[in-house]
A = this chain, B = another copy of it.
Amino acid sequence: MSAYAGVDLGGTKVQSVVVDEGLRVLGSCFMLTPRDRGPAGVIEAIIDAVREALAQAGLSAGGLRSVGIGSPGRIDTVAGTVGHAGNLPEWSGTVPVVPEVAAALGCPVALRGDVQSGVVAEWRLGAGRGFASMLGVFAGTGVGGGIILDGDLWRSHGAAGEVGHMVASNGGRACPCGRFGCLEAYAGRAPMEQEARHRATEGTPTLLFDLMEQMDRTSLTGEVWAAALEQDDLLAAELVAANVEAMGVVLASAVNLLEVDAVVIGGGMGLALGDHYVDRVRASMDEHLVFPENPLTVRLAKLGELAGALGAALAAQEESR
C-alpha cells in the first residue's frame, strides 16, 4: 500500500495527516507549534507530527511514499526553503525545511504555500469539488486565498491569491501589512481583535473579552465572536457587519474580474461563523456583482481544520507520480 503524509504548518499549530492512494485519512496528529526552539524546533515538530500520524495509521516510516508540507512565508519549491515567515518563531533568513525533513523521514518532500494547499484540497475534495474555477478565501488570523482556473491552481510566480490585501475601503482601517483598507483589516482575526480592544479601551461596552475568559481562550477566536453574536453583543455585531461588507466588496470585485464558478469561504473565522455568515457575505456581494444573474455558488469550506494538511498530502501524491 502507498501512504502519503501531509503537514499544515502554522504559527499556532502543526496538523498532520496520513492518507492512502484514494486520500482516505488513516491517521492524523495535531500539536502546538513550539515557540521556544526556533526553526530547529519547528522542523522537529513536523517530523514528530508525521511519525505520530503514521503510528496511528499502524504504519512505519518505510510505508511512506512521500510527504507534503503546506507552509506560511515565502516558498521556494525548487530549493525546498521557507523564508520571511513572520508567524514562525525566530525565522530569520531562509530555512531548508525540505532537505531536513526528507533526511529524517527518508522519502521525497514537496513544499507548498499553506493557504494554497487548503484551497486545492477544498477544490479537489471539499466544497469546491466539480467546479472548473473557484476562489478560495481563508479567514483566520489573517486572510489568504487561492484561485483555481480551468482545473489548475493559478500561482503565477508564487505570490498570486492575496485576496486579503485587495482593497475593501480606500484609506480605511490599518492592516497588519502596513497599508490601509485591505480586506484583512476587516476580516482577519488579529486586526478584528485589535479593533475590538481599541474600542473597549475607549469605553464601548462589549462581552467579547469576558466571553474569551469564560471560554478559556487567550485571544478572540472565531468561537468567541460567534458566542458574542449569539448574545447580541453590539460591538461584535458592528465589527462582523464591517467584515461582511468588506468581504462583499472584495469578493464581488474578484468575481467581476474572473467570473469564477464558485467562492469557498474557510479558515477559523469563516468556519466558526458558519453558513449564516456565508449567506450574509453572499448578500453583500450581490450588491456589487456586475452580472448578478450569472450562476455563482458561494459556500462554506467543508474540510474544516484538515484542509491544509490534506492539500499538502495531495501535493505529495502529485509530485511522486
Q: Which residues of A come within 8 Å of B, CB atoms?
A: 133, 145, 147, 149-150, 154-163, 165-170, 177, 179, 182, 245, 249-250, 252-254, 256-261, 287-288, 290-291, 294
Assess the A291–B159 pair: CB atoms within 8 A: yes
Task: Tell me the complex Cα distance, A177–B245, Å.
Answer: 20
Task: Tell me the complex Cα distance, A167–B288, Å.
Answer: 7
Task: Tell me the complex Cα distance, A308–B169, Å.
Answer: 34
The residue that A288 contacts in the complex, of B145, B160, B179, with Cβ under 8 A, is B179
Assess the A154–B149 pair: CB atoms within 8 A: yes
* Cβ distance A171 to chain B, nearest Cβ, rounded Å: 9
Assess the B253–A156 pair: CB atoms within 8 A: no
Assess the A161–B257 pair: CB atoms within 8 A: yes
Assess the B259–A159 pair: CB atoms within 8 A: yes
Q: How many copies of this chain does the complex contain?
A: 2
A159 — which chain B residues lie within 8 A by C-beta?
259, 290-291, 294
* Cβ distance A153 to chain B, nearest Cβ, rounded Å: 12
The residue that A162 contacts in the complex, of B177, B261, B290, with Cβ under 8 A, is B290
Task: Tell me the complex Cα distance, A155–B163, Å.
Answer: 20
A256 — which chain B residues lie within 8 A by C-beta?
162-163, 165-166
* Cβ distance A296 to chain B, nearest Cβ, rounded Å: 10
* Cβ distance A185 to chain B, nearest Cβ, rounded Å: 12
Q: Which residue of B lies closest to A290 (CB)?
A: B165
A145 — which chain B residues lie within 8 A by C-beta?
257
A177 — which chain B residues lie within 8 A by C-beta?
290
Q: Which residue of B lies closest to A133 (CB)?
A: B156
Assess the B147–A257 pair: CB atoms within 8 A: yes
20 residue pairs A–B, Cβ–Cβ below 8 Å: A133-B156, A147-B257, A149-B149, A150-B154, A154-B258, A159-B259, A159-B290, A159-B291, A163-B256, A165-B256, A165-B290, A166-B257, A167-B252, A167-B288, A168-B170, A169-B170, A179-B288, A182-B290, A253-B253, A257-B257
A252 — which chain B residues lie within 8 A by C-beta?
167
A149 — which chain B residues lie within 8 A by C-beta?
149, 154
A165 — which chain B residues lie within 8 A by C-beta?
256, 288, 290
A147 — which chain B residues lie within 8 A by C-beta?
257-258
- Known pairs A159-B259, A288-B179; A166 contacts B133 (CB<8 A): no
Assess the A287–B179 pair: CB atoms within 8 A: yes
* Cβ distance A173 to chain B, nearest Cβ, rounded Å: 13
